[in-house]
Structure 1
Amino acid sequence: DNEFKLLCGSGEYCDNFTDLNLSHCFIGTSLYVRLLLYTRSNLDCGHELNHHHLSTQPLFNLTQPTAFVIHGYRPTGAPPIWIDHIVHLLAEQEDMNIIVVDWNRGAANLNYFTAVSYTREAAHNLTGFIMTMEEEGASLSSVHLIGVSLGAHLAGFVGANLKGKIGRITGLDPAGPMFTSATPEERLDPSDAMFVDVLHTDMNSFGLRGAHGHIDFYANGGADQPGCPKTIFAGKSYFVCDHQRSVFLFLCSLNRTCSLTGYPCSSYSDFLDGRCLQCETFKPASCPVLGYDVSQWRETLLQLGQTKVFFSTTLLIQISHFGFHLSRQLFQTQILLLFAPSKLLRLEQYTSTRLLAQFDEDLPNIQKISLRINTGNVIGPRYKIRLLRIRFTPLERPERPLMCRFDIIMEENMEVAFRPLPCDSRL
């Protein structure tokens, strides 16, 4: 097995993540847990830790925070493609110990139920290691477990073994199969750590439905993700794309290339209708952002209790004071405004409404908006509607000015085009 490599030019041996193949999975593997340490001084060269003699590990600084990265089920036996990325990105957040929990021998089985049965044993092993850390001076509150899929429940078992004294557990799309009817003691739950944050991306397949942390983020509703295949003809990607999206979104947040704000809401449909865009109850005075820094909202979240937040991975713009929906079709600088075909809105005198629009890319300089109110009428008189104000609020670009248009006369089923202007400048 390829578990070691020679670091060119230095003569130093590095410990690699266990690399298995399908033959191991067919035969079945027995659990063996390896702990690979990475720090800022050895980001590209893992060092396997002795489970019992930490004082002999010069790179392991027990006074610093420690993040454990715990993978999930490995049906092919291959190392996760994201391991190196998450190690490097975590090291950029702060100076810490990063320990990759390699339980590939155990997770690599064609029989998923066997891998599930090993999570308790692997958790017992990891619990013993963390207890040794504590005995040698480490603080449990400085320990952060990041578990992916089945690894999220494994992290929860470790936290439960340690009576919830672990500082933080992050669950990336906790596994659903065999956990859908589990009690809190049989899966990840908020009592497993001082702070538990969870990201959902595949609740209708390999992920777990419901809320299981102090804060649960639901990406695009927590189920089907944009860009993932919709049919089985796409092969392996059809099965893993939505589930893996949780890892890639977390990596994106660590890389600071995407700021994913979660809006507290009771349902995804309410979120899409623009009913859940208020963040005044949170301190700091903004809604929680997915990622490593979400712990800054911890005290507020602990006071609020379990909180569900929703976000979209497309650009969000709040559109208020008008009676139509914005489609997600992009025509360069032209935007087509339409009624949502599945939802009819009632337009009445002196009423206003608020809707949420989503775009696949940023539109910094909108030159023209084409607007049409579709009523479905093909015969009969054409009705006219007077829109007193349309306001566009860029939720994810608060530094940009609000854009408005005032006093537009519209005839049903007829297109009107206009250029939006800053709200403080009336025509």
Structure 2
Amino acid sequence: MFLWQYLTPLLLIAVQICKAQKCDEFTDLNLGHSFIGTNIRIRLLLYTRENGTCGTLMSHTDLSAYPQFNLSRPTTFVIHGYRPTGSPPVWLGSITELLLAREDLNIIVVDWNYGAANVNYFKAVENTKRAAANLTAFIETMQGHGASLSSIHLIGVSLGAHISGFVGANLNGLIGRITGLDPAGPQFTGTPAEDRLDSTDAKFVDVLHTDIDALGFREPLGHIDFYANGGTDQPGCPKTIFSGGAYFKCDHQRSVLLYLESLNRTCASRAFPCSTYNDFLDGNCLNCDQFGAAGCPVFGYDVTRWKDILQKRGQTKTFFTTNANSPFCMSSYRVDVMIWNKDVRWGYITVKLHYNGTEAVATIDHKSSKFQKFKETRLFAQFDKDIPSVDKVSLKFSTGNVFKPKYKLRVLRFRLTHLERKERLCRYDILLEEKSEVTFRPIPCEESNF
């Protein structure tokens, strides 16, 4: 009995600690819910550096019960998209962790899975405006407690991007920033601005497009729109329907993976303003002087460095390419080739850069390039990785013709220019036999002008 008297208070304390440490989690539904249909219900899960891996379910009206919800800090809302199977997004833990590593924030995961989990996509679309109305009311409550709208960032994925737009419009475009990750296309394409995300919904709107030919939205929507790999057919994604569900969702989901990498600062993807993807690949859009010393914008979380310029420019459409897997970012070079063959040659060039056992590869094969005597052919090379210095260069020329005789490309001058560091390397008088790789050590270019 004596021992029990001492243990009882300790047990009660332990129970209270366990209760205090209870974590609220994203709603986990299943296909059954999707077939039956779900009525919309909004749950707001708070994460801060004090509880970075343990969500707190918040009241929509009473904020006083959450001392960790400090309204003097910026607040970022993460809004998911359509959930046909009802399962939680696999990336939620990563995005909250990476956001909190970058900044001392309030992160609110907007769980509208009741409403997004429905085999009837049209019903989920219908629910987006209802979800936006709920979220708008919550942000207005935050305002009443002293929060500044300019310190709020909405990150919306697919349907979540349009929810973000509706919230921003409801608040007269005074939200600080909206990021749309492959905004949904079906049921939104061709609609007026008030029925989708657009650049007036926040002070700054940045948008990523990765699936414009299927689940995503094709046209520009923000102050700056990034088109990864032209906005369609992401590297590494299945090309045939025989790959199952990944064939339908891989391109669309790539938007989140690219954004997570921008948060992680693994590497940076420089994006180039251009009217079309083909012009970008042809190297016609490599001048970044219009953006001053900062150069062309970098995709992702840190694009706010260019916010002032982009707001003045109006709508800016940019392109960048990626690898099939992380790290996704590539390194950009300009390649200039002058030949002295008597006859015109058409073909493709593969360039390899070597440094201390590391090899970076760029295959310029989006179209057959024209090489003409004493005329410089400018190519845009995207290497799978960046290397700090170049010891050796390997070149290979190919025409793509299987049955015709092999040709030779007599290179008078080969020049390689790193587009960010402006480093230039050259080589003169190289003989390339078709499909045979030639390796050489580059030398400083003799030309004084860039």
1:347 is aligned to: 372
1:53 is aligned to: 62
Deviation at 1:379, TM superposition (A): 7.2
Of 128, 131, 137 in structure 2, the residue corresponding to residue 128 of structure 1 is 137
Partners of 2:181 and 2:207 within 8 A in 1: yes
Partners of 2:397 and 2:436 within 8 A in 1: yes
Deviation at 1:348, TM superposition (A): 3.8
Partners of 1:141 and 1:168 within 8 A in 2: yes
1:326 is aligned to: 349
Question: Is 1:402 matched with 2:410?
Answer: no
Change in Cα spacing, 1:27 to 1:328, as seen in structure 2 (3 Å) is farther
Question: Is 1:419 matched with 2:448?
Answer: no
Question: Is 1:140 matched with 2:149?
Answer: yes
**Structure-to-structure mapping, 1:174-323, within 5 angstroms:** 174-314=183-323, 315=330, 316-322=332-338
Of 377, 381, 392 in structure 1, the residue corresponding to residue 416 of structure 2 is 392
Separation in 1 of the partners of 2:362 and 2:377?
15
Question: Is 1:356 matched with 2:377?
Answer: no
Unaligned runs of 5+ in 2: 1-14, 324-329, 340-346
Change in Cα spacing, 1:416 to 1:254, as seen in structure 2 (3 Å) is closer
Separation in 1 of the partners of 2:184 and 2:80?
11
Determine helix, strand or coil for the equivalent of 1:221.
Answer: helix
Structure 2 counterpart of 1:53, one-letter code = D
Change in Cα spacing, 1:411 to 1:172, as seen in structure 2 (3 Å) is closer
Which structure features the higher share of helix residues?
A: 2
Deviation at 1:420, TM superposition (A): 3.5
In terms of mean alpha carbon deviation, does 187-196 or 363-372 score higher?
363-372
Deviation at 1:180, TM superposition (A): 1.2
Kindly report the root-mean-square deviation, in angstroms, between the aligned alpha carbons of the 2 structures: 2.9
Separation in 2 of the partners of 1:57 and 1:338?
54
Deviation at 1:414, TM superposition (A): 8.2
Cα deviation code 1:333-364 (max 9, x no counterpart): 88999884843415143x21221123444566
Separation in 2 of the partners of 1:335 and 1:16?
43
Determine helix, strand or coil for the equivalent of 1:353.
Answer: strand
Cα deviation code 1:51-110 (max 9, x no counterpart): 111122211111110000000000010100000100011111211100000000000001
Separation in 2 of the partners of 1:187 and 1:152?
8
Deviation at 1:49, TM superposition (A): 1.2
Deviation at 1:378, TM superposition (A): 4.9
Change in Cα spacing, 1:371 to 1:379, as seen in structure 2 (3 Å) is closer
Deviation at 1:329, TM superposition (A): 9.1
Change in Cα spacing, 1:8 to 1:261, as seen in structure 2 (3 Å) is farther
Separation in 1 of the partners of 2:203 and 2:337?
42
Determine helix, strand or coil for the equivalent of 1:118.
Answer: helix
Question: Is 1:93 matched with 2:102?
Answer: yes
Identity among equivalent pairs (%): 53
| TM-score between both structures, scaled by the size of structure 1 | 0.89
Structure 1 counterpart of 2:425, one-letter code = M
Larger Rg: 2
Deviation at 1:317, TM superposition (A): 2.8
Question: Is 1:41 matched with 2:58?
Answer: no
1:162 is aligned to: 171
Change in Cα spacing, 1:371 to 1:7, as seen in structure 2 (3 Å) is farther
Deviation at 1:178, TM superposition (A): 0.7
Change in Cα spacing, 1:386 to 1:22, as seen in structure 2 (3 Å) is closer
Separation in 1 of the partners of 2:361 and 2:300?
34
Cα deviation code 1:109-137 (max 9, x no counterpart): 01100000000000000001111111110
Unaligned runs of 5+ in 1: 1-5
Partners of 2:411 and 2:428 within 8 A in 1: no
Separation in 1 of the partners of 2:419 and 2:364?
21
Determine helix, strand or coil for the equivalent of 2:25.
Answer: strand
Separation in 1 of the partners of 2:143 and 2:48?
19
Structure 2 counterpart of 1:326, one-letter code = I
2:9 is aligned to: none
Separation in 1 of the partners of 2:151 and 2:79?
17
Structure 2 counterpart of 1:356, one-letter code = F
| TM-score between both structures, scaled by the size of structure 2 | 0.85
Separation in 1 of the partners of 2:141 and 2:284?
49
Of 144, 158, 168 in structure 2, the residue corresponding to residue 149 of structure 1 is 158
Structure 1 counterpart of 2:395, one-letter code = S
Structure 2 counterpart of 1:77, one-letter code = G
1:370 is aligned to: 395
Change in Cα spacing, 1:423 to 1:126, as seen in structure 2 (3 Å) is same
Partners of 1:336 and 1:369 within 8 A in 2: no
Deviation at 1:232, TM superposition (A): 1.0
- Number of aligned residue pairs: 415
Separation in 1 of the partners of 2:424 and 2:144?
56
Partners of 1:24 and 1:109 within 8 A in 2: yes
1:3 is aligned to: none
In terms of mean alpha carbon deviation, does 27-36 or 272-281 score higher?
272-281
